[in-house]
Amino acid sequence: MLDSLKILYTRDQIAEQVRRLGSEINRDYAGREILLVCVLKGSFLFFADLVRTLTCPVVVDFVRLASYGCETISSGVVEMRKDLEFSVTDRDVVIVEDIVDTGYTLQTLYHRLLDRKPRSLKICTLLDKRVDRRVDIEADYIGLALDDGFVVGYGLDYQEKYRELPDLYVLEDAPPVDEERPI
């Protein structure tokens, strides 16, 4: 059965927000080196676009997380599938996420990195789905706010599909699928 996709934000609207986030980060970190952490896989396109707007020195690194539960709802049990290559100790670190939903994923990553004693630790997310938040975590840099709905495109998937789409869509009538959910 074909999924039904409804346009949510166009590539131009996304690009405008990415430029704004980049200038906020440039303003806050002027002249300082940032360790920019891409949370795979969902944020890979956002990360690639964001990094090209930065004028401060940047080192990039990648983590991969998986949450257990169903395809469209986070369970709260988050496993780190791939750790960072670099130490975060005494560095200015910015986590780059595609979307904060319940907040379980980000909360887990945030506290794991905080345990390693970075100089500073901030969060940048393209999308913020605040109505679903279950834990007390807020991003420092937020691209676009969202109401409810499951979003795909621009790196975000549904069962590994749609990551390649240049615009963001809402997936209508997404049935929850019970399985391990790599993020």
Comparing CB distances to ligand 5GP, the nearer of 33 and 83 is 83
With binding defined as CB under 6 A, does residue 104 bind ligand 5GP? Answer: yes
> Which of 157, 165, 168, 169 contacts ligand 5GP by CB under 6 A?
157
Q: DSSP for 29-60?
A: HTTS-EEEEEEETTTHHHHHHHHTT--S-EEE
CB of 182 to ligand 5GP, least distance (A): 9
With binding defined as CB under 6 A, does residue 38 bind ligand 5GP? Answer: no
Binning the chain into helix, strand and coil, the percentages to the nearest 5 are: 20, 40, 35
Interface with Mg ion by CB under 5 A: which range of 5-13, 116-124, 139-147, 156-164? 156-164
CB of 42 to Mg ion, least distance (A): 4
Residue 102: partners with Cβ closer than 8 Å, 6 or more residues away = 73, 74, 76, 132, 133, 134, 135
The whole-angstrom separation of Cα 93 and Cα 74 is 25
> Which of 14, 74, 96, 143 contacts ligand 5GP by CB under 6 A?
74
The one of Mg ion, ligand 5GP, none whose footprint includes residue 49, by CB under 5 to 8 A per kind, is none
Closest CA to 113 of 37, 52, 179, 41: 37
- Residue ranges binding ligand 5GP (CB under 6 A): 42, 67, 74, 97-106, 150-152, 156-158, 183
